[in-house]
Amino acid sequence: MQTLAGMAVEVLTTADGREKTALGRKHAAAWFAARAAGQPLPIGEASPPLRPSRPAKPDLLPPREVPRRRPGTPAGRIALLHAVGHIELNAVDLHWDIIARFTDHPMPLGFYDDWVKAADEEAKHFNLICDCLESMGSHYGALPAHAGMWRAAEDTVDDLLGRLAVVPMVLEARGLDVTPGMIDIFRKAGEAGPIAALETIYAEEVGHVAYGSKWFNWLCGRDGLDPKEVFHDLVRKYFHATLKPPFNEEKRAEAGLPPDFYWPLTEREEAEG
């Protein structure tokens, strides 16, 4: 019988973006069908790869070498969408990775429901962005992309609380801060397809950040830890930069992220001793 961890590894080891996301959506549907029937699939155990399989293109470059283009031009808007597509494909793998990576921690089934749903939504986001790129005469893989995206996963490969702190509660929360500005760029250009895609992404990403805060708080509560202090410690340990305002305080609040979680991380910790 198929296990959820086994299905996650199948997605992680599929390289092509459209194939990876189609397989992920099929597995998500199977998971939710079994849940609805009252016969949840076993979680199982699997060995996720340290890095997921990815297509030969795009070329991955260090962030400083990824060319910047002005969003006022069609080529600039294609580059912006291409970068978003790369983030979405990475997010698909991040969500399946958290499912497969930490099966030695006994978690309620709701933990898996949330990340399967998030992974399924990321697959939809990737395909929406690919459709936009293709209708603009480009495609995912046509431009170089950021090489450092998997670093957060590697840094937190054996730390579930660290993974939750850095991925949904820092990186995906950052998406809530920057997406309205991206939507404005496409609104100014009068491009309806990307506006619709980005609005879907913006609405659904609130849920992913909320899943992160929910399970972070749940684990801290179970172990009698102060979530705010643990969050500060873990972000300082695993995230190699300060957080950058302005923050989308309203959407962060909706996702269960209080200001005293993120504001103190805009400053470097004072030197010890």
Nearest CA among 92, 13, 7, 93 for reference residue 42: 7
**What are the structure tokens assigned to 186, written together?**
């496409």
DSSP designation for 102: T
The nearer residue to Fe ion, 101 or 125, going by C-beta atoms, is 125
In angstroms, what is the minimal distance from the CB of 172 to Fe ion? 5
In angstroms, what is the minimal distance from the CB of 94 to Fe ion? 8
In angstroms, what is the minimal distance from the CB of 119 to Fe ion? 9
The nearer residue to Fe ion, 65 or 94, going by C-beta atoms, is 94
- In contact, 43 and 113? CB cutoff 8 Å: no
CA 136 to chain centre: 25
The nearer residue to Fe ion, 97 or 205, going by C-beta atoms, is 205
Name the β-bridge partners of 115. Answer: none
* H/E element, 146: strand 145-146
d(CA 169, CA 262): 9
Residue in the block written with tokens 């962060």: 252
- In contact, 81 and 194? CB cutoff 8 Å: yes
The nearer residue to Fe ion, 88 or 191, going by C-beta atoms, is 88
Nearest CA among 249, 229, 245 for reference residue 237: 229
In angstroms, what is the minimal distance from the CB of 17 to Fe ion? 13
Phi, psi angle pair for 127, to nearest 5°: -70, -35
The nearer residue to Fe ion, 196 or 268, going by C-beta atoms, is 196
In angstroms, what is the minimal distance from the CB of 99 to Fe ion? 14
Residue in the block written with tokens 């670093």: 151
In angstroms, what is the minimal distance from the CB of 243 to Fe ion? 18
The amino acid occupying position 244 is K
Task: Please report the beta strands in 30-98, taking only residues with DSSP state E, as ranges in sequence order.
Answer: 60-61
In angstroms, what is the minimal distance from the CB of 121 to Fe ion? 6
Q: Which residues bind Fe ion (CB under 5 A)?
A: 88, 91, 122, 125, 172, 205, 208
The nearer residue to Fe ion, 45 or 250, going by C-beta atoms, is 250
The nearer residue to Fe ion, 104 or 119, going by C-beta atoms, is 119
